[in-house]
Amino acid sequence: MSAQHHTDAGADLRRDIHTTLLPGFAGTTAPDWLLARLRGGLGGVCVFGPNIVDAAQLLALNASLRDANPLAVVAIDEEGGDVTRLFYDRGAPYPGNAVLGRLDETELTERVAHEVGRALAATGCTVTFAPDIDVNSNPDNPVIGVRSFGADPELVARHTSAWVRGVQSTGVAASAKHFPGHGDTATDSHLALPVVDVSLETLRERELVPFRAAIAAGTRTIMTSHILLPQLDAEHPATLSSRILQGLLRGELGFEGVIVSDALDMKGASGVHGIPEAAVLALAAGCDLLCIGSDNSDAQLDEIVAAVEGAVAAGRLPAARIREAASRVRSLSADEPSIPAAVAVVEPAHDAEELTAFAASFEVSDAARTRLASASRIGTVVRVDTVANIAVGVAPWGPFASSLVEGVPEWFEDAAVVRVADGSPLDQVADLAGPVLVVGKDLHRHPFAVDAIERLRAGRDDVVTVDMGWPSNDRAYADVSTFGASRLIGSALLSFVGSALAPETAGVA
């Protein structure tokens, strides 16, 4: 074999390795190193909230990426709810999955997903890492919660089908996640490795039901989860497990599209091995496109490429597996929509009737209704700021997002707002002007929030708690449960409270 053949084979392998990689980057314009790698065959880029200023800037950014590599995947985490990137500065104008599941109107779900897809296509994005189709069977789940359509596998499945159909009707590829299911966890895989000790039969009856529906609906990609399922593979998390990806997803479920890893910078994937070795193991297990993280560097990609080349040379990773993965990514890219000439993102507008319809999904206790109906105003709004998981990030949420963009009702404008966070002196909540509306997310999971609510409730009966996350089963700290904290649901909450108070307090400033 000639030296030239060796050289060509090495160059082809390196290009194929690059095609399997999907890094993120820092900044709002593509750095030179990233553009150079795209010209060399890099599979694509994952865009995050800090990369985005506005729709016009995102379109220009994505055009520069696709100019460097016309087949580049431009991926984004736009779930259309609490997890939003396109609206990271002001919160999403969509309801989110849990609200859609509670309303249980699949035509609405498909329409919302179509709106999300249109907005993404208008900015040049080609893949959205959505929908989240985990069955949220654990109310203490710190990373899924309202990102899920619900706790019923069949309900989640029918809304999965609708969401996939809706978004892919715009040309944007869906990515059903997180295979084989992240709903029964109490650990955040960004920070550690969750363990789900259930049988394959339980998975088939619960977690896998929505994934079968996603595949039947034609989802172009499926994203893995960094969770350990010891009854299937006691050594490797799903992202790194050939038994789960090749045996279960490819074999039993028959998925033929692109398998995307969840971000390899998460501790659930690379906490033990480091990112380069995690990349090797993920490719060997069956992943085709490796999401690396949100702030990657040229040097980091050098390390990953070198690790994969070394694994191929050592016989640990067949070159044919790399070629197969790269071929799938290129096939996905070949069908991507072209970059539009001009941005045309139109946010959906929602009138009072629509806000009322979304508020119909809220769960409201009789005590909350009575307290609000007997009040002529809200004296204090207590904003409980819990630390959001990394997937949600620091995007504005709930009524506080609404107040950044839209006019707010007089009752909200006139109320005093007190912020409470972990480490806040809780004596500030002892003597607040009432009635008091407490607004937070996943309140039962945060001891400081529980303490603040119990102090507020002591000796007074004019406190109404609003949980905009996934409440505990006993609803102990959720007089009102909204099952979502997008900007749209924040507006629906403002409308609901205003209508529940005396009519003269419901006006908009």
- Each of the 509 residues of the chain gets a pLDDT tens digit; together they read 554 555 577 889 999 999 999 999 999 999 999 999 999 999 999 999 999 999 999 999 999 999 999 999 999 999 999 999 999 999 999 999 999 999 999 999 999 999 999 999 999 999 999 999 999 988 887 789 999 999 999 999 999 999 999 999 999 999 999 999 988 776 666 666 788 889 999 999 999 999 999 999 999 999 999 889 999 999 999 999 999 999 999 999 999 999 999 889 877 665 677 899 999 999 999 999 999 988 899 999 999 999 999 999 999 999 999 999 999 999 998 777 778 877 777 788 888 999 999 999 999 999 999 999 999 899 999 999 988 777 888 899 999 998 888 788 999 999 999 999 988 777 777 789 889 999 999 999 999 999 999 999 998 899 999 999 999 999 999 999 999 999 999 999 999 999 999 665 444 44
Beta pairing partners, 463? 436
pLDDT at 221: 98
pLDDT at 390: 78
Verify cis geometry, omega within 30 degrees of 0, for the bond prior to 178.
yes
Closest to 216 (Cα-Cα) out of 168, 182, 254? 254
Q: Return d(Cα 248, Cα 260) in angstroms, integer.
A: 15
**Do the beta carbons of residue 269 and residue 261 sit within 8 Å?**
yes
Amino acid at 386: T
List of residues 6+ apart from 12 with CB closer than 8 A: none
H helical segments located in 335-478 = 352-359, 366-373, 398-405, 410-414, 447-457
What tokens does 191 get? 């920070």
Strands (E), 101-257: 127-128, 175-179, 221-224
List of residues 6+ apart from 220 with CB closer than 8 A: 127, 168, 173, 174, 175, 257, 258, 332, 335
Active-site residue, 89 included: no
List of residues 6+ apart from 230 with CB closer than 8 A: 195, 197
Q: Return d(Cα 149, Cα 155) in angstroms, integer.
A: 7
Strands 221-224, 258-261: pairing kind: parallel
Query: Out of 18, 159, 182, 190, which one is annotated catalytic?
Result: 190
pLDDT at 279: 96
DSSP state of 145: G
The angle at the Cα of 255, spanning 66 to 208, to the nearest 5 degrees, equals 115
Q: Return d(Cα 327, Cα 20) in angstroms, integer.
A: 9
Token pair 């560097």 is at which residue? 297
List of residues 6+ apart from 480 with CB closer than 8 A: 362, 363, 364, 365, 368, 464, 465, 466, 467, 493, 496
Closest to 162 (Cα-Cα) out of 197, 195, 130? 130
Active-site residue, 262 included: yes
- DSSP labels, 360-396: TT-EE-HHHHHHHHT-SS--EEEEEEPPPPTTTTT--
The angle at the Cα of 120, spanning 118 to 121, to the nearest 5 degrees, equals 65
What are the φ/ψ torsions at residue 147 (nearest 5 degrees)?
A: -70, -15
Q: Return d(Cα 440, Cα 390) in angstroms, integer.
A: 17
| Rounded alpha-carbon distances, angstroms, from residue 418 to 327, 350, 447, 453 | 55, 28, 18, 13
Query: Out of 262, 442, 462, 467, which one is annotated catalytic?
Result: 262
| Rounded alpha-carbon distances, angstroms, from residue 280 to 179, 227, 308 | 19, 18, 5
